[in-house]
């Protein structure tokens, strides 16, 4: 009996992984970095789908991973839509320098849900969001915003660079561990526990404070605002961002900006 069980444990587990995300976000390069330890800077669009196999060891088990690398371009929808079914994990990639690629993530999740016949199957997919190209600048999507989006969907979040390799191995390790755990759990994904502890509103306020061009804009008030209006707006934002209470990344810097914006506006009133 014991012998049988260990023999069963030795049989490689077969899993299916797919890649999703807009064209040029770096899906193929992330996979290449992991499987072949190299990076190609020239853009070679995936035509329809690419397929590869890799063997890994996860939680003391041999795992044979079948990777279906999808083309992100909309013209390939008819080709890639065949490949969603029966997959257990996905990398969902956006380019941190391209805001549209981040804003498209919801559409990708929708496409995945549509292509899975059974809703519970897509709900049990283990998804790793890759905020890719962290080696390049400027950033159009902050880490806090990316993390919040992933967290609110029950997905893992990693900052990656296919060019330098940063974050890539850790991301795949988490993906494979998540998939193996799901398989061992009879196909049911382990419940996702959020550890972020901050809200979308906090992220939006931090971004507004950091990116606005005037103090009125920072506080969200009109140029003719009274002392009272300024203090009211200040208090509302201070509650959201006080560094003793807020764990949202960037709170401390945003709080300092808030304090100096309020001081400058009050001076103008006196
Ligand atoms: P499709 O196959 O068309 O869906 O695109 P894709 O998402 O597979 O993108 P691909 O991996 O082909 O990469 C697109 C371009 O981005 C290429 O020119 C890559 O060299 C570049 N690229 C990918 N990852 C990175 C990265 O981490 N850093 C930098 N600087 N460039 C990257
Ligand atoms: Mg590709």
Identify the pLDDT of residue 7.
Answer: 47
Q: Is the CA virtual torsion 197, 205, 201, 106 positive or negative?
A: negative
Pocket of ligand 1, candidates 24, 107, 158: which has the most ligand atoms within 8 Å of its Cβ, to mutate? 24
Q: What is the pTM of this model?
A: 0.83
Please write the tens of the pLDDT for every residue from 184-233: 988 888 877 777 888 888 988 998 999 999 999 999 999 999 999 999 99
Identify the pLDDT of residue 83.
Answer: 95
Identify the pLDDT of residue 9.
Answer: 55
Ion ligand 2: residues, CB within 5 A, are 27-28, 46
Give the other-Cβ count within 10 Å of 149's Cβ. 21
Of 136, 138, 137, 156, which Cα lies nearest the Cα of 146?
156
Instruction: Please give the backbone phi and psi of residue 129, each rounded to the nearest 5 degrees, phi first.
Output: -80, 130
* Predicted-complex ipTM score: 0.99
Q: Is the CA virtual torsion 55, 57, 61, 66 positive or negative?
A: negative
| Residues in the ligand 1 pocket, defined by CB under 6 Å | 21, 23-29, 40-46, 71-73, 132-133, 135-136, 161-163
Minimum-distance ligand 1 atom for the alpha carbon of 42: 18
Identify the pLDDT of residue 244.
Answer: 87
Q: Is residue 164 scored above 80 in pLDDT?
A: yes
Please write the tens of the pLDDT for every residue from 105-154: 999 999 999 999 778 888 999 999 999 999 999 999 999 899 999 988 98
Minimum-distance ligand 1 atom for the alpha carbon of 21: 7
Identify the pLDDT of residue 114.
Answer: 94
Please write the tens of the pLDDT for every residue from 12-59: 999 999 999 999 999 999 999 999 999 999 999 999 999 999 999 998
Please write the tens of the pLDDT for every residue from 231-256: 999 999 999 999 888 888 889 999 99
Distance 75 CA to ligand 1 centre (A): 18
Identify the pLDDT of residue 1.
Answer: 44
Identify the pLDDT of residue 223.
Answer: 92
Identify the pLDDT of residue 201.
Answer: 87
Pocket of ligand 1, candidates 29, 69, 92, 137: which has the most ligand atoms within 8 Å of its Cβ, to mutate? 29
Q: Is residue 2 scored above 50 in pLDDT?
A: no
Measured torsion, CA atoms of residues 2, 6, 188, 170, in degrees rounded to the nearest 10: 140
Distance CA 174, CA 120 (A): 21
43 to 24, 25, 105, 130: CA distances (angstroms)? 7, 10, 21, 18
Q: Whose CA is nearest to atom 22 of ligand 1?
A: 26
């Amino acid at each position: 009996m014991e012998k049988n069980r260990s023999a069963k444990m030795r049989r490689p587990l077969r899993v299916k992984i797919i890649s999703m995300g807009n064209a040029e976000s770096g899906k193929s390069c992330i996979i290449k970095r992991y499987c072949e330890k190299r990076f190609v800077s020239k853009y070679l669009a995936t035509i329809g789908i690419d397929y590869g196999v890799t063997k890994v060891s996860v939680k003391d088990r041999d795992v044979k991973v079948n990777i279906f690398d999808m083309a992100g371009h909309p013209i390939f929808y008819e080709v890639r839509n065949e490949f969603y079914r029966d997959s257990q994990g996905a990398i969902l990639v956006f380019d941190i320098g391209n805001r549209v690629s981040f804003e498209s993530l919801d559409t990708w999740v929708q496409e995945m849900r549509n292509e899975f016949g059974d809703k519970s199957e897509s709900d049990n997919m283990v998804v790793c969001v890759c905020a890719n190209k962290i080696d390049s600048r400027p950033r159009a999507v902050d880490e806090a915003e990316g993390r919040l989006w992933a967290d609110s969907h029950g997905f893992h979040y990693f900052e990656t660079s296919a060019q330098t390799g940063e974050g890539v191995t850790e991301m795949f390790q988490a993906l494979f561990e998540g998939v193996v755990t799901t398989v061992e759990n009879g196909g049911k994904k382990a419940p996702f526990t959020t550890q972020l502890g901050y809200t979308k509103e906090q992220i939006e306020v931090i971004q507004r404070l950091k990116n606005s061009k005037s103090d009125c804009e920072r506080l969200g008030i009109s140029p003719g605002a009274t002392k009272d209006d300024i203090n009211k707006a200040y208090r509302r934002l201070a509650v959201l961002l006080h560094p003793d209470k807020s764990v949202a990344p960037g709170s401390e810097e945003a709080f300092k900006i808030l304090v100096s914006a309020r001081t400058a506006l009050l001076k103008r009133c006196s």
